[in-house]
A and B are shown apart, each in its own frame.
Chain A
Amino acid sequence: MDVRAKLAILADAAKYDASCASSGAKSTRAGSQIGSTEGMGICHSYSPDGRCISLLKILLTNYCIYDCQYCINRISSDTPRARFTVDEVVSLTMEFYKRNYVEGLFLSSGIIQNSDYTMEQLIAVAKQLRTVHGYGGYLHLKTIPNAAQSLIEEAGKWADRLSVNIELPSEGDLYQLAPEKKKPQIVGAMQGIRQKIDEAQQEQAAGYKPPRFAPAGQSTQMIVGATPTSDVEVLKTASELYTGQRLRRVYYSAYSPIPHADARLPGQAPPLIREHRLYQADWLMRFYGFEADEIVTEPDRNLSLDIDPKLAWALANRHFFPVDVNRASREELLRIPGIGVRNVKRLLAIRKHKNLRSEDLKKLRVAWNRAKVFVLTADHNPNLSDLDKLDLGKRMRPKSQQLMLFDAAGSARSGEV
């Protein structure tokens, strides 16, 4: 099989991986000849699914000895199989990189022979890029479940980011769909990476120059919609990972219908809206000071699909409003629907010099339609009278309530929210 045929199979197999970030490694490795990392990631292209293409995202092989039901590469699937050699991946990466097609390499793999052997193969690619080719670009390695800690540590030496996939939100989900993967082992692997990252940071702080260890931190991916687990559970798991394991990112991947789906899985994908809402909620936890269980206001413990989680929270907690934009603290400002982190920063800077009026907020391009009911400004804000109306929730919702059915179908098709 030639490289092009392998690439078609092994890129296709990687398209369910949501990770795309290429940021976070602050400085380029010393002695690099080709490639740099300067903190900011660059998206070099966009695919018609609206997702960015910043990394060459491939599997080393899609042969796999595991049988995780949600995965197209599971042993019982009859998907076409291929395997790259280490040299093929190295040369593809270098050639793509030199033409500025990509920002770096994201390398994952199905598990062949055993976990350690597979991890060694991934490390071989990374090591060859760094040592033989003087490659200084971004490198994200997936750690293989159950691989030896010593191998994961070596991977961290060469890679900018490591990720361990948590796969499913709860232990029960894993048992049901991926019996060979155990949550304690997955979290244990993250713990090991976290400790190494912490050690390197402490040595740096103490003035030593430790060898690099995953300077862009670690991330993980969770598949949503493959099991009936509620959004609260998903967010709680994510929250534990952010605080306990200090993850940089948790990626959510709406369960895509994959060919030959197993009988244990729902036959239809959940709307992409749900994935979008989870990302919004995730953002609220990371940058806005929300807790997982206060974000979800619906009785069925799922995020509302028709309005964003911040607005949903505001509607459920009207006693918190109105918030006075000229006096409120940063934490309070962050809770106003339609006002984002950057605008809060601007408001705090501007109000030292002048009193803020509704006109100013509009000029700052806050989402006035959402914010107007909840803010107290220096001038008279007539919209405030709506705050106590019983039907406020109804008014704030999108107009086409009865068309919900087609809405969801439409947005699931177009991905637009």
Chain B
Amino acid sequence: MHFVRIDTFDQWRSEARRLLLAETAPSEVSFSTTDDQLSLFASEPNVPTSSGQRGAAAASVLKVPREFLALAETVACHRGTHRWELLYRTVWRLTHGEPQLLQISMDDDVHSLQQMLKAVTRDVHKMKAFVRFRKLEEASSPQASYVAWHRPDHRIVRLAAPFFARRFKAMHWTILTPDESATWDQTQLRYGAGVPASESPDGDALEALWKTYYASIFNPARVNVAMMKREMPVRHWQTLPETELIPELLAAAPARVAEMIENNEGFAQTAAHYMPADTGLDSLRAAAASCRACDLHHCATQTVFGEGPPRARIVIVGEQPGDNEDIAGKPFVGPAGQLLDQSLARAGIQRDEVYVTNVVKHFKFTTRGKRRLHRKPDSREIFACRPWLEAELAAVKPSSILCLGATSSQALFGRDFRITLSRGQTFETEWSRRTIATWHPAAILRMPDAARSQQMEQQLVDDLVLAAARPGKT
């Protein structure tokens, strides 16, 4: 009987080679490691002698599949005490008439090796996942360093460390484990002694943010604790700061789900809540007068609803009432309204033939001293008010719609509509076969460049003519 003490893969490799050349059957060898108890019958184990010369000569004689060496090197990191003898028995069988052994997955030895391989690679994977660096700022060095303490199941520091060196190339870091530590100084990896858990670094200010993230990304409607524990074994929890939150997250989950299902309150309102049963224009106007679907009704004087014949051929849609409109309660009566009237006249259209309205029916403003300055409605307000416009269009059924400015164009064509690109073109929408976008008179009035302002005014007139044209006539 041969008693051999092995601590590293390299020792095992040279020892295995020596034993194979001596034709020593696996049953004749007892392997042990330093931390094992000695076998009852073993005398002082012989310290293996390096077999450099013979080994080199024998390498050509011993044909072992390359696949086996890779497997053996990884399995050597496993803590199982029988790993050396299992490896030796396998290499013996490979060289004694079973060269295809590794293909036979259901062979007991091969199966055990594969299970051990799986355990080690999984452990390496978990180390890559569960190492949590903590940043240490030291006055003595300009570089912050990152330190982590991790307890792997097997002796895998050297298998995993190169990965961290590749990933955190431009950082000084140290990973401490009970068996061994690894340090990277941005140029080389050094290995040192292991340290106990008490040596692990203190917390890191960022952990509070990380915990916030962990708590927020959890969906209480999908609790699945078994799955979590399978993938994140509880023995690793002590070094994972986020796991402290798990009990309270789970405790609060049922209540949060109930709330998620029950909670239909606070659903922001839209004009749909104020829609009357009778959808004629007069009934709509009366109902809109008391609309509170958004906050604009607080400060505005009154609702400014659309105006014009209920069977108008053309509907003109502006953005929202301004200062004058808010006082008068009618759309387009201020400076922009006057310009619109002029343009209508130039296009040969009577103002009282068209139905004029706005996307948003209340004036939105900020106060500067005594003046009320117009503010653009935001998408929330446009969305809340939109059912009124849709109801008006459904009631009037115009043959063409003319949108003045970006807000009303985007309300009808979608948010990606660009008035600069598509002004004056006819599109089909669900409310009319001929929907056209053009400049808002207010934009023309604000244009500082006189030539450009004249050009825009002419385009507004052209687009009005286009809207008034009867389809089929050119």
Contacts and interface: CB of A to CB of B under 8 A. Distances in A.
Contacts of B257: 257
Contacts of B267: 76-78, 260, 262
Interface residues of A, number: 79
B218 A415 contact: no
Interface string B100-135: 100111100001000000000000010011111111
Say whether chain B's binding surface is mostly helix, strand, loop, or mixed: helix
A35 B264 contact: no
Interface string A28-60: 100011111010001111111111110011000
Interface string B32-69: 00000000000000000000000000000000000000
B223 interface: yes
A355 interface: no
Interface stretch (B208-216, B339-347, B419-427, B433-441): B208-216
Contacts of B215: 8
Contact of B416 (A12, A76, A115): A115
Contacts of A317: none
B214 A53 contact: yes
B169 A12 contact: no
A49 B260 contact: no
Contacts, number: 203
A258 B257 CA distance: 9
A34 B253 CA distance: 37
A202 interface: no
Interface stretch (A94-102, A122-130, A190-198): A94-102
A360 B218 contact: no
B408 interface: no
Given A8-B212, A11-B217, A76 B383 contact: yes
Interface stretch (B242-250, B298-306, B312-320): B242-250
Contacts of A414: 223-226
Interface string B200-237: 00001010111011111111111111111001100000
Given A114-B416, A259-B263, A363-B106, A34 B168 contact: yes
A346 interface: yes
Contact of B268 (A34, A77, A268, A349): A77
A100 B218 contact: no
Nearest to A263: B264
With a 10 A CB-CB cut-off, give which of A11, A16, A47 has the most chain B CB atoms. A47
B266 A50 contact: no
B296 to A, nearest CB: 16
A12 B249 CA distance: 14
B461 interface: no
B246 A48 contact: yes
A261 interface: yes
Interface string A247-270: 000000010111111100001110
Interface in B159-199: 163, 166-171
Given A46-B232, A354-B104, A100 B224 contact: no
A3 interface: yes
13 contacts: A8-B212, A43-B231, A57-B217, A77-B267, A254-B222, A259-B263, A350-B105, A353-B104, A359-B106, A363-B106, A364-B106, A413-B223, A415-B227
Given A46-B232, A53-B214, A260-B265, 4 more contacts: A34-B167, A101-B210, A257-B221, A257-B261
